[in-house]
Amino acid sequence: MDLMEYLDSTQKQVDRMIDRFFGDEFLELGKASAHLLLAGGKRLRPAVVMLAADAVKRGSSDEVMPAALALELTHSFTLIHDDIMDSDAFRRGVPTVHTKWDEPTAILAGDVLYARAFEFISIAEASDNAKVRAISMLAAACVEICNGQHMDMSFEKRNDVTVGEYLEMVSKKTGALYAASAGIGSILAGGNAVKTHALYHYGLYTGMAFQIQDDLIDIMTTPEKSGKDRASDIREGKQTLITLKAKEKGLDLSEYRRELTDKEIDELIERLASLGVIREVRDTALELVEKGKEIVSILPDSEAKRLLIDIGDYFVTRGY
């Protein structure tokens, strides 16, 4: 099975679980909690949970399916809260939760998903000790995500953010949940400390690369393909690796904090490319993926291991 077939199959499995547990909500808060879940998504974090489990113990992915769903619930809870903080009106082609309902309801909807994520880990087929460790790992990841989001928000008020600070923020805001996805898959499948450490750091590095690729997609990919306004990060003055690398080359992107035409964006891309900014940002993402692939080399060869490696490559090629 190739990666796209696997991701499609996993997406359908997760969607069936979401429909089973969240498709018939009749209370208004339940509907708000289920709103983004039912709007779709690639279900990449559940796929990482399942592949990590199978890489440790072949065939164990079915046993960890509730935990795979737990990671998707966690991801969805962060999106609901992020949309409130960013005042975004649409997500996955539908109105955001706070837009369709209101901010207090959206906050509570995110809280419900956060709580239910731990519930679903607790019903995975694994030892009680493994489930406690998995719950602890997810709790720590949620703290990291909050710290990463706060760092990201604080960067918007600063003009002295360093590349090192940006990478630390990305490791928390995005890397931590992919790290937990792989680590929890390993723990619940009975992985030892060495395998769990390797898979956790595989998730961390590839998750960081995923976010850096998102930064590139923001400016390089058409709205029709990305589903987002092009160059929105630059127009909003976000401190991304592109912004920081451009500043190192003497190009201040603050002049682009305004509405931009397609022609202006294309000209900006040419300037960034000529300065080597695009190449350096891509190289950073590729280096992180290579670190992730290298660290899982300790695992025995298997289809699951191969697909994990393929996911790392996919993270830095998607969107173009």
In the chain the domains, ranked by start, together with CATH numbers, are: 3-315 (1.10.600.10)
**Phi and psi angles of residue 11, each rounded to the nearest 5 degrees, phi first:** -60, -45
Instruction: Give the per-residue pLDDT at 183.
Output: 98
Q: What is the enclosing helix (H) or strand (E) of 168?
A: helix 163-170
Instruction: Give the per-residue pLDDT at 220.
Output: 86
Instruction: Give the per-residue pLDDT at 97.
Output: 93
Taking the CA atoms of 195, 197, 202 and 203 in sequence, report the sign of the dihedral they define: positive
Q: What is the enclosing helix (H) or strand (E) of 90?
A: strand 90-91
Task: Tell me the pLDDT of the chain (320 aa) as tens digits.
Answer: 899 999 999 999 999 999 999 988 889 999 999 999 999 899 999 999 999 999 999 999 999 999 999 999 999 999 999 899 988 888 887 889 999 999 999 999 999 999 999 999 999 999 999 999 999 999 999 999 999 999 999 998 888 899 999 999 999 999 999 999 999 999 999 999 999 999 999 999 999 999 999 999 988 876 666 556 678 888 888 899 999 999 999 998 888 888 888 888 889 999 999 999 999 999 999 999 999 999 999 999 999 999 999 999 999 998 76
Taking the CA atoms of 42, 301, 186 and 204 in sequence, report the sign of the dihedral they define: negative
Single pTM value for the model: 0.94
Q: How far apart are CA 153 and CA 157, in angstroms?
A: 8
Q: How far apart are CA 277 and CA 244, in angstroms?
A: 9
Residue 56, amino acid: V
Report, in angstroms and rounded to the nearest whole number, the Rg of the chain calculated over CA atoms.
19
Got the DSSP string for 12-61?
HHHHHHHHHHHTT--SHHHHHHHHHHHT----HHHHHHHHHHHHHSTTGG
Instruction: Give the per-residue pLDDT at 226.
Output: 56
**CB neighbours (10 Å) of residue 309?**
20
Pair of tokens at residue 147: 């710290």
Q: What is the enclosing helix (H) or strand (E) of 297?
A: none
For the chain, report the end-to-end CA distance as a whole number of angstroms: 23
Distance (Å) of CA 217 to CA 38, 142, 148, 231, 306: 24, 25, 20, 9, 25
In terms of phi and psi (left: phi > 0; alpha: psi -120 to 50; beta: otherwise), the region of 227 is left
